[in-house]
Amino acid sequence: MPKFETPFEQLADEGTVFLLNKPLEWTSFDVVNKLKWNLKKTFSKIKIGHAGTLDPLADGLLIVCCGKKTKTIESIQNQQKTYIAEIFIGATRPSFDRETEIDAHYETPDSSIEKIKSVVHSFVGKQMQFPPIFSAIKQEGKPVYLKARAGKEVVMTAKEIEIYKLEMLDYQFPFLKLHIECSKGTYIRSLAHDIGKALNSGAYLQALKRTAIGNYKIDNAWEIEDLIEELKSQKELQQIKN
């Protein structure tokens, strides 16, 4: 089981960084709010926030900072991200993932291993990427996904991102599994969509797991319920000491 970076009784003063394995279908704020509710039973004024959103349909590493460690959120967000992604080839969805229904099917592309590897490798390096219209990026003070869900036109601006490493782990048509190391601001959903276009086909993100942010690894992360139980145990132990 992971250890606390800071002794429990010093969390309010020194703060700490929690590594959590975000469950599927939880929002990042769901995780933060549950942890915040439990921490405030002991530390009424403790600050808390996450260092990088993870979509509800993704799981894996979510970093939550408490107390004075909330000052490190921006520096953590700026670090390199590592993912394992599964991409479905042969169809598209407006959200570039499973949030929305399939809107187009495509004929089977040239799916030879050599062709797939060549296309995958072509995405390594700096490039301009269009974020999905179903994203939390704000325009006129509101997340663009609100307009997209309402069926309104959304125009996105391309942003520079960088793919440091892109490795094909497996390919069994229609599923392509990738190891990805990338910069802040990279949308893996957009990468999946763009790979589909490069194959003269369509593609969307089937599944995504974040495995690392900088030197923070998923192997050292808490399951949210285990962390809640540990917090309760630490609180009880502190009460006995007092």
pLDDT of residue 238: 62
Task: For residue range 174-184, list pLDDT tens digits in order.
Answer: 999 999 999 99
Radius of gyration of the chain (CA): 20
Q: For residue 16, what are the CA distances in angstroms to 52, 53, 69, 229, 237?
A: 16, 18, 6, 17, 19
Task: For residue range 106-161, list pLDDT tens digits in order.
Answer: 987 767 888 899 999 999 999 999 999 888 888 888 888 888 888 888 888 999 99
pLDDT of residue 49: 92
Structure tokens at 54: 């993870």
pLDDT of residue 54: 92
Structure tokens at 84: 């394992």
Across 69-86, average pLDDT: 96
Specify whether 55 is catalytic.
Answer: yes
Q: Read off φ and ψ for residue 42, nearest 5 degrees.
A: -110, -45
- Split at pLDDT 50, 70, 90, the class of 1 is low
Across 71-100, average pLDDT: 96
pLDDT of residue 232: 83
241 pLDDT more than 60: no
- CB 216, CB 63: distance < 8 Å: yes
Q: Which domains does the chain have, with CATH numbers?
A: 8-78+215-241 (3.30.70.580), 81-211 (3.30.2350.10)
Please provide the average confidence, as pLDDT, over all residues in the chain: 90
C-alpha angle 170-91-184 in degrees, rounded to nearest 5: 65
214 pLDDT more than 90: yes
Nearest Cα residue to 194 out of 81, 231, 182: 182
Q: Identify which has the larger pLDDT, 36 or 234.
A: 36
Structure tokens at 33: 């709010």
pLDDT of residue 83: 98
Percent of the chain's residues with pLDDT above 70: 95
C-alpha angle 140-145-147 in degrees, rounded to nearest 5: 65
Q: Read off φ and ψ for residue 22, nearest 5 degrees.
A: -65, 130
- Out of 13, 55, 219, 226, pick the active-site residue: 55
- Split at pLDDT 50, 70, 90, the class of 234 is confident
